Structure 1
């Protein structure tokens, strides 16, 4: 209990520099949209470096191997967001669709969405990197009955976003 309270306090202090928005933007029976955003002073290079080292900030509790160090994300269109498993195989969490100067888009039906989602667009954006940049993560999911997953997926993705922002700012997950 104390550990959970300390972790929650640490997450809140993460956004002390500016207000963060984290919400289910839209939901319906067959889908939902999540949006997480925080203004920060950063460079495009810092954001890209954090994305390139996804194993450094992703929560290992939300991997199949239990260790985020087994994750890889090559920043090239068509590249795999993959996880190395103990048996030597790899699990594909998603694919890079677009990487340009101010955003990364993945087709990423994560966790229980795999095999159920007809659309699972995970996008990170950082337009006009510098002072006051709004770093954003958006997750648009569609598929039969998936609207019921909005709240639990929002909870998991909020933690991932907090860890991502902390990594961009401090280089640690």
Structure 2
């Protein structure tokens, strides 16, 4: 029984799949997916509460409470700075409630490069819950090449989805 509990804990802690799909000097594609024990609409609703699960280590302000995601076309995945100002991480381009969100923009250090990206977040129903798949594609000019950024972006997004999975499981999507 103890082994089953350990295995269940490991399955909840790690992404189902994290990979660099393609990378070259001009851009990259990374794909991450997690299985969740919540229904698809609840999974996407939980995903939008980024301030509750995003790592402080991947914010500019050092506090994920400063993050917000306005889930409407033209809405912003933004971070406000405590002393004023802020950053637009991504902009919402497409919303299919309970199924898919597409955001556009350059994540983190890619913002200061001549790069644009597309983040496609989709949720599908599976036995026992849902699967959330996050694909991020970025292209353009980067100092050092897109192939150098790909593994770092993939690792960062895999870490975020581990945190998201724990949040969604704990909150039941609510």
- Scaled to the shorter chain, the TM-score interval is 0.7 to 0.9
Q: 1:125 to 1:13 in 2, by over 3 A?
A: same
Q: How has the CA–CA distance of structure 1 residues 169 and 108 changed in structure 2, closer, same or farther, with 3 Å as cutoff?
A: farther
Would you say 1:78 and 2:87 are equivalent positions?
A: no
User: Which blocks of at least 5 consecutive residues in structure 2 are unaligned?
Assistant: 1-5
Higher strand share: 2
By relative contact order (CA 8 Å, sep 6+), the higher-ranking structure is 2
**Cα distance in structure 2, aligned partners of 1:90 and 1:158:** 25
Aligned-pair distance for 1:164? 1.3
The residue that corresponds to 2:54 in the other structure is: 58
Question: What is the root-mean-square deviation of aligned Cα atoms in Å?
Answer: 2.5
**In structure 2, the residue corresponding to 1:121 is in which secondary structure?**
strand
**Structure 1 segments of 4 or more deviating over 6 A?**
none
1:116 paired to 2:113? yes
Q: Could you tell me which residue of structure 2 aligns to residue 159 of structure 1?
A: 159
**Counterpart of 2:139?**
142
Unaligned runs of 5+ in 1: 1-9
Post-superposition CA distance 1:101-134 (Å, at most 9, x none): 3111111311111142533111211023663532
| In 2, Cα distance between equivalents of 1:35 and 1:114 | 20
Tell me the TM-score normalized by structure 2. 0.82
